[in-house]
Structure 1
Amino acid sequence: MPSRRPEEAASGTPWNQTFSHSMWRANNSVHRALNERLRPLGVTMTQLGIVMKLDQHGPLSGADLARGQNITPQSVTTALSHLERIGWIERHPHPVHRRVVLIEPTEAGLRGMAEGRRLVEAVVERLCEVVGGAEELERLTLGMRRIAIALDGPDSPVARMWPDPPEPA
């Protein structure tokens, strides 16, 4: 019988003490904490992120959101159905490309987004304490951005696949 488990064999370190395990566990923990904090609003962090993206970039299609958020079209469709059901978004046909549906936040969605950002900030403040202050949190954030860029490339630019109609002359 081997003296070490296979995951320890490569590095000599138990898996639960490795960077990959720590990153995985921290990701799950932060994701859970954010979603728990957002529960009173009836949204998840993914859904809140979609409304923030719409607020930042204006009306977008579901395909635009999937590309811009780096999530599957199916996940976007599910999130949008829920956001529409709770009144946070509206869907409108594109003025030129009638088969394209544009999504935009409602006033209720913008108010919910503002409250969601406040709730998320409470989690961030707790993380700031955990890592030893604002400077350390900023260093950690920079490191995570570097990791994401190294693995996935720079943030996907959010560009509408369907251009706006020309301005009337």
Structure 2
Amino acid sequence: MRHDDDGLIAADALDRVTWAMRRAEWAAQAWKDQRLRPLGLAAAQYTLLINVHSDPGLTGAELARRLNVTPQAVASQVTRLEERGHLERRPHPRHRHVQELHLTDAGREILRDADAVIVEIERQIAEKLGPEKTSQLRALLDEVADAVRAP
């Protein structure tokens, strides 16, 4: 078995922008998970709740597409959040086999608490970077998102 795969990938493969973005995302997700844990939430659940809050009536399939995860992953999280009383499923007005997702009062309360945690994380990042770099980073990330959406 060969272990000297020189030339298999570029020497700078782990120094690429996409890897830097991924490392930053992993670090941010770990930090969010750690800080949200006392609330009984994972970062993925916060993301799901904030999407339902911003667009009430989303279906599980719509959420899966929006979050770029499998419908099964969404269904699993929705079931957990529903069991905790944070989400409720309601019949879709036009499609009888489709259910819409809505926050409950408890869901709005946990989202408010979780968002305060995320705001604090963002504040700490902005404090570390400073206002100019924070603004630049946001603009650059928006440009990256636009660039990868372009045909």
Distance 1:98-1:55 versus aligned 2 partners, 3 A rule:
same
2:81 aligns to what? 83
Which has the larger Rg?
1
Name the structure with the higher helix share.
2
**Secondary structure in 1 aligned to 2:88?**
strand
2:142 aligns to what? 145
Which stretches in structure 2 are left out of the alignment for 5+ residues?
none
**Residues 61-100 of structure 1 aligned to structure 2 (within 5 Å):** 61-100=59-98
- How big is the alpha-carbon RMSD for the aligned residues of Structure 1 and Structure 2? 2.3
1:135 Cα shift?
Answer: 2.5
**Secondary structure in 2 aligned to 1:91?**
strand
TM-score norm. by structure 2 comes to: 0.84
**Residues 33-48 of structure 1 aligned to structure 2 (within 5 Å):** 33-48=31-46
1:18 Cα shift?
Answer: 4.3
Greater RCO structure (CA 8 Å; 6+ sep): 1
1:136-166 Cα distance to aligned partner (Å, 9 max, x none) = 112111211221232245xxxxxxxxxxxxx
2:10 aligns to what? 10
Matched letter for residue 10 of structure 2: A
1:114 Cα shift?
Answer: 0.8
Identity of aligned residues (%): 29
Number of residues of Structure 1 aligned to a counterpart in Structure 2: 147
TM-score norm. by structure 1 comes to: 0.75
Distance 1:18 1:118 in 2: 33
Distance 1:85-1:5 versus aligned 2 partners, 3 A rule:
same
2:56 aligns to what? 58
1:110 Cα shift?
Answer: 0.4
Which stretches in structure 1 are left out of the alignment for 5+ residues?
154-169
1:16 Cα shift?
Answer: 5.0
Superposition misfits of 4+ residues, deviation over 6 angstroms = none
